[in-house]
Structure 1
Amino acid sequence: MYAAPQTRPMLAGALAAASRGWHVFPLLPNTKRPARPDHSADKCTGTDPRCRNGHAGWDARATTDETRIRRAWADDAPTYGLGIACGPSGLVVVDLDTHKPDTEIPEPWNRFGITTGVEVLDHIAGARGGTITRTFTVRTPSGGTHLYYRAPEGSRFGNTAGTIGWLIDTRAHGGYVVAPPTIIATSTGTSCYTVVEDRPPAPLPMFLLDLLGHQHRPTPAGPTRIPASTDRLPAYVKSAVTQEAANVASAPAKQHNTRLFVSAKSLGQLIAGGVLDEHTAYDALTTAAHSLMGPGCECNPREIDNTIRSGFHAGAANPRTPNPRENSRKAA
């Protein structure tokens, strides 16, 4: 759990974040600004111990080392806030803001009556046949939302500001987020960052991968197989993935697309229920569908991709979290 006790809550929060492999650093009290270094690169004299071999900014100082963390949030600095360096932490954080009063709402969002980044992201996901996977979620003092996602291995995303959509920024390499239980000063007083959904970060949703320029590559055609990632799933979820993949692989002629959509919709319900990640389901269905391609079949990678995404989106409207006992009774 990401709970911070009332005694030394900032230190506890920093240690909890580091235990997840997230690289942390202190922020000046009541602000979003890094506490160290106290100088910019162009004014670095090399006298700071960490700058002896060149200027070391907040990103170079971020750490998971418990000794350094305890020293950073020592007794004389208990009110320092908490920053998480996204790049070295393997995170892509989606920052969803809210509409500021007395500012213009751009089109088409004004026409749709949309005023929050959450609504904008939901609209974009729907338009692209994607789902907003449940993940580690933080509420910001301004009423915004931070969605913490796991970056794909080998990727190196930068930061974006409004390029995905209105009120949507992302933080990755070169960026950081203010993390719970940091307290900052606002126009109405002080407020804190709060965890509203405490779960391991989910893989970055595929529609966001596309928007950030890292296209998901479909699995090459070959024998039907279930991805190794299903080994980490609960038995009843793995069984559902295996069954739906088998349903697709055994689809009779002229029913390939229909069978794929139905299976994708079924697994989309589990994705929305938070018991299955989108990438595992996508890989299983893609592999099964690609095994059908051949003479007399009109399936192609693009059509398969579109059908799976459409099925996931349709399934997201009815989230499902199966009861393992019910599943066992059915199997019996």
Structure 2
Amino acid sequence: MTTPMITATNAPDMLTGALAAAARGWHVFPLLSGTKRPARPNHRERDCTGTDPRCRDGHTGWDARATTDATRIRRAWSGESPAYGLGIACGPSGLVVVDLDTHKPGTEIPEPWNRFGIRTGEDVLDHLAGAHGGTITPTFTVRTPSGGTHLYYTAPEGVRYGNTAGTIGWLVDTRAHGGYVVAAPTTIGTSSYVVTDDRAPAPLPWFLIDLLGRQHRPAPAAGPRPIRTEVDHMPAYVKSAVDQEAHNVATAPAKKHNARLYVAAKALGQLIAGGVLAEHTAYDALSDAAHSLIGPGCDCNPREIDSTIRSGFHAGSRNPRTPNPRDNSRTNSRNNSRKAA
């Protein structure tokens, strides 16, 4: 059976769009006309009085009311309320939607994105994919009224992701369990959500699985994790350099966490630019070491850690370095001097 496209041009009423989404197995619910707010229930959980028929046994929110049932959908978008917008509950639909925004004029562009000349979430995601050895798999895509993009991916089996807001990267949010997206052909103001790629959603790319996994992964109790077995084939002196720089970060004294992380990232950035070290290997080692510092008395946060590492990599890339095994003794000497200082 051919699934109808969900576009503004061939679906003048929202009912067609809602039925098309449900035909894909996506759980839908109505939004108040011209807004991004759920139409039902019309009250918050803390204000629930139990008088709503579906709340008699406890508050029932938009996620529980979302449905693929065609009869319920026709009832919701027909009759007196055909102008409702369309929401898709991501969790029940088995979706992880990546929301890529655009830079708003007059707002500050954080580093390192400003140095890179990056202004959109699409470019940030492209940079992250390259940094982690991944690709942005073509998938079901929607253009938003603000000029942003929604990429719809299928969630991995047995994994329950929540929502993120800027923790993966600037202008990059994700919606999964507990989240929803406004879907085509909903209109906000004078513009509509429009499907620009109607293919079936692709599986969530591996680099995003890794990045999203970090949002729910507890930080190591102390120090960096060992270099992963799949990169154990790297030269011993390169592995030693990575281990040493990660150790320097994990043992940084108070008030010097960010400075120590930047210096370590810059040193490994030289090796990355020299072609002897994979960026994702260096990133993982430094990120895990830095996350182990987060706690009382430390103002470190995941976004700052990510920004500092990437800024250090960028600075190091200006001076590519391809060491030989004898350089390891110089590295140890430099590190011993740093400790003494």
TM-score, normalised relative to structure 2 = 0.61
- 2:125 pairs, out of 108, 121, 125, with 121
Check if 1:155 corresponds to 2:159. Answer: yes
Check if 1:201 corresponds to 2:201. Answer: yes
Post-superposition Cα deviations, 1:219-254, rounded to whole Å, max 9, x if no partner, equal xxxxxxxxxxxxxxxxxxxxxxxxxxxxxxxxxxxx
Post-superposition Cα deviations, 1:1-41, rounded to whole Å, max 9, x if no partner, equal 31457565200000000000000000000000000111111
Check if 1:192 corresponds to 2:192. Answer: yes
- Do the aligned residues in 1 keep the contact of 2:6 with 2:21 (CA within 8 Å)? no
- Do the aligned residues in 1 keep the contact of 2:6 with 2:184 (CA within 8 Å)? no
How far off its partner does 1:78 sit?
A: 1.0
Check if 1:30 corresponds to 2:51. Answer: no
Task: Report runs of 4+ in structure 1 exceeding 6 Å deviation.
Answer: none
d(CA) in 2 for partners of 1:183 and 1:3? 13
Gaps of 5+ in 1: 216-255, 258-302, 307-332
The aligned counterpart of 1:104 is: 108
SS class of match (1:169): strand
Check if 1:2 corresponds to 2:5. Answer: yes
Query: Which residues in structure 2 correspond to 1:235-314 (within 5 Å)?
Result: none
d(CA) in 2 for partners of 1:76 and 1:150? 34
Query: Which residues in structure 2 correspond to 1:127-166 (within 5 Å)?
Result: 127-166=131-170
d(CA) in 1 for partners of 2:197 and 2:204? 16
Question: How many residues of Structure 1 are paired with residues of Structure 2 in the alignment?
Answer: 216
Post-superposition Cα deviations, 1:43-102, rounded to whole Å, max 9, x if no partner, equal 111110010110001001000000100010012111100000000000000000000000
Post-superposition Cα deviations, 1:137-186, rounded to whole Å, max 9, x if no partner, equal 0000000000000000111000000000000000000000000000012x
What is the root-mean-square deviation in Å for CA atoms of aligned residues? 2.0
The aligned counterpart of 1:297 is: none
Check if 1:172 corresponds to 2:176. Answer: yes
d(CA) in 2 for partners of 1:21 and 1:110? 40
Check if 1:89 corresponds to 2:93. Answer: yes
d(CA) in 1 for partners of 2:79 and 2:119? 42
- Do the aligned residues in 2 keep the contact of 1:157 with 1:172 (CA within 8 Å)? yes
Post-superposition Cα deviations, 1:261-284, rounded to whole Å, max 9, x if no partner, equal xxxxxxxxxxxxxxxxxxxxxxxx
Gaps of 5+ in 2: 216-232, 235-277, 282-341
Name the CA shift for 1:67/1:8 in 2 (closer, same or farther; >3 Å): farther
- Do the aligned residues in 2 keep the contact of 1:8 with 1:78 (CA within 8 Å)? no
The aligned counterpart of 1:327 is: none
Q: Which amino acid aligns with 1:55?
A: H
Name the CA shift for 1:108/1:7 in 2 (closer, same or farther; >3 Å): closer
Q: Which amino acid aligns with 1:211?
A: L
Q: Which amino acid aligns with 1:213?
A: G
SS class of match (2:98): strand
Q: Which amino acid aligns with 1:91?
A: L
Name the CA shift for 1:152/1:138 in 2 (closer, same or farther; >3 Å): same
d(CA) in 1 for partners of 2:214 and 2:169? 17
Identity score, percent:
76
SS class of match (1:156): coil
Post-superposition Cα deviations, 1:105-137, rounded to whole Å, max 9, x if no partner, equal 111111111000000000010011000000000
The aligned counterpart of 2:51 is: 47
- Do the aligned residues in 2 keep the contact of 1:25 with 1:82 (CA within 8 Å)? yes
How far off its partner does 1:198 sit?
A: 0.3
SS class of match (2:145): coil
